[in-house]
Chains A and B, each alone.
Chain A
Amino acid sequence: MDTPVFKGRLFPWLLLLPSLMVLAVFLYYPAVQTLRLSATASNLITGNARFVGWENFTDLLRDPSYVQSAALTLLFCALVVSLGLLVSLSLALLASSVRRGARWYRLALIYPYALSPAIAATLWLFLFNPEVGMVNTVLGDLLGIRPRWLDTPGLAFGLVVMAAVWKNVGYNVAFYIAAIQNLPKDVLEAARIDGAWGSRMFWRILFPLLSPMTFFLVFANLTYALFESFALVDILTKGGPVMGSGGATRFLMFRLYTDGIENYKTGFGAAQAVLMFLGVALITLAQFRFAGRRVQYGA
């Protein structure tokens, strides 16, 4: 039988109160307000707010450009998470097997994460300026090609994916290196004695042992791709180039910003925030349900 840590019912709530107050002010209250706003056609500047019920939501879901944004966002997230984790895990494994100068490798790998997103994006913009950027100068001299990075839809999309993966590699590598250092030595040794090497060692031993970290990083990278890659898009492509019924990199977060903040359509923006929240909730639930079972937490 569990024995209560605290006597009385009030005391634990009292201890929780400061956190709850902070959450209420900065999270719950704005969330409720967002929900309320999403049912209005409101303009921040004119201060008008008219109740429109579901109209914002039906408008959004019927708008082919919004559906396109959602599909592109899904593809973007899938690529950023999978490529990001693949690259980071490979780099972390390599960096962990280095004997001399390991600290420098780690520092170099984590460095991009320390840059502010705005500075990172500006760097990329300079590098990939199709006319005077370093990348095209080199490509032009070596191969005679000068790709239009910023107005070819496929290339612009790929460029933002690459930038987003690169920007978050440092974060992932830091976590993976920590996890690799904490792997149980006896298990690894036993595997070696039993003759497990190479890919077998990786898939049968390392990957399962690292699965709790991967599970956490999938979620962290998903929220990163959805919300934090905004600055990269804003500075690199501004949501362009034009493709189909919208822009090739007009992801949901960027759209929300343009509609809700730049164009002051607060209610319309709030409805998009609610839809994004539902999307994230759904994906998270699915992740815990299906992938969560396969995570090995060990003994």
Chain B
Amino acid sequence: MNRPTLNRPTLNRLTLALALSCYASSALAEPLTVEFWHIFGDAKRKGFIDQKAAEFNAKNPDIKVVPVVKGNYSENLQAAILASRQGQPPALVQVFDVGTQLAADSGVFQPVGNVEKTDYGDYLKPVLDYYTLQGKINSLPFNSSSPVLYANRDLIKKAGLNDGALPATYGALLRSCAKIKAALPDAKCITFGASSWFVEQWMAEQGTTLVNNGNGRAARATESNLDSPAAKNIFSFIKKLNDGGFYSFTGKLDDGAGSAAIFTAQKSVFLISSTADLGNQLDAAKQGSYRLGVGLLPIQDGSARNGVVIGGASLWIAKGIPDNVADAARTFALFMTNTANMKEWHKLTGYYPVRKSSVSELRKEGWLDSAAPQTVAFRQLLNTKASPATAGALFGGLLPARQIIQEGLQKVLQGQDVDSVTRDTKAQVDKVISDYNKSLGK
């Protein structure tokens, strides 16, 4: 008979393991579980988060952070809110900038500043401003970025232009485009996704808020400024680019990936895209063996450079969880965004390091040499003037408003005139705002 048996050494080892695990579970109380719901499913960024959670768990044996990927931003917020309503909130949630007002109105989160006194002075002010509601720091900045101008320096040279300074205003860009068009029949001047994000940035650069009542921060917004002279400047610029035959895009709304493909195929001299794209762009330039330049986001001629809105996402702490769990969640969030980790995060992805201490350490390491492409992105961030315009718009209907603004851009690209498009766009966005306010019963 051939009966399977355990040999003695295996049996001994099993007994030992069993004994040890009994000992471990009795000696240590169950660790506090902190679920962290985020949206980074890609290997690079998910890897960073998983690694930081593992480091944190090793250092804090009484806490167990469990990162979970929950689809895109919209789905992540929705899942977190439904889970909260069913009494199972995740302790820590990554919420995108445009969802800030929605998340605040949902009532399932608590301001991060509530949990315990922490010094937030080390965070960069323009970044922190976005997530400060009614004077309270509501969430911790995590992945922050703004748009910059990427340039193919080899093509610029080929077009016979000065490849030293990149155009920093609409006018300078249009003049460069005219020369590029004459010199380079195979490439367009500029590409970027027809995205509302750029319109929001260009409003802020001109010091104009997107919506009234201090961008919805002094009181709830009731109407948009999409027919303001600042907005008309933006739409006119797009029209001039398009009419001149300088602009290239895939035609799909908000298709940043399509524009990046056009730029890396060297079919366009310039690209406007997020600083978070920097890593990919540097890789692509190396592969395509062309020199990459990075410049400030071009703005309206004659306007002061007021700065950019720091977009991205922040970390929110749920309401209705035990205080020690909330504390643990906050401790982890602060750990993941500490000086060293923010430096690493920046080098890995191109997202801004949102702490002053990280920036000064990077500077000491020579990472911010004047020649380095990321210097420009930093200057754009550090020189941003604090104001309601650069703090970013806050209103519940920002998501549908973005769709409407993008459709407005496309109407201009299809040849409609700027005045009627901005008038329509404003009317539609205003309706979204008033519908949202009505849905709150206010």
Contact = CB atoms under 8 A, between A and B. Distances in A.
A4 B250 CA distance: 66
Contact of A125 (B77, B105, B252): B252
A129 B258 contact: yes
Contact of B267 (A47, A132, A148, A151): A132
A48 B440 contact: yes
Contact of B106 (A41, A46, A131, A258): A46
A263 B399 contact: yes
Contacts of A269: none
A194 interface: no
A238 B399 contact: no
Contacts of B399: 262-264
Interface string B89-127: 000000000000011011100000000000000000000
Contacts of B400: 258, 263
B251 A130 contact: yes
B164 interface: no
Given A125-B258, A151-B413, A44 B78 contact: yes
B410 interface: yes
Nearest to A151: B251
A237 B258 CA distance: 12
A45 B105 contact: yes
Contact of B252 (A132, A237, A264): A237
A240 interface: yes
Interface string B362-382: 000000000000000000000
Contact of B103 (A45, A132, A156): A45
Given A48-B441, A258-B403, A132 B262 contact: yes
B265 interface: yes
A45 B250 contact: no
B251 A45 contact: no
Contacts of B248: 131
Interface of A: 41, 43-48, 50, 125-126, 129-132, 148-152, 156, 236-242, 247, 258, 261-264
Interface of B: 74, 77-78, 81-82, 85, 102-103, 105-107, 188, 191, 248-255, 258, 261-262, 265, 267-268, 396-397, 399-400, 403, 407, 410-411, 413-414, 436, 438-441
Given A50-B441, A263-B400, 14 more contacts: A41-B438, A44-B82, A45-B102, A46-B440, A48-B440, A125-B258, A129-B262, A131-B262, A131-B267, A150-B255, A151-B414, A156-B251, A240-B407, A261-B74
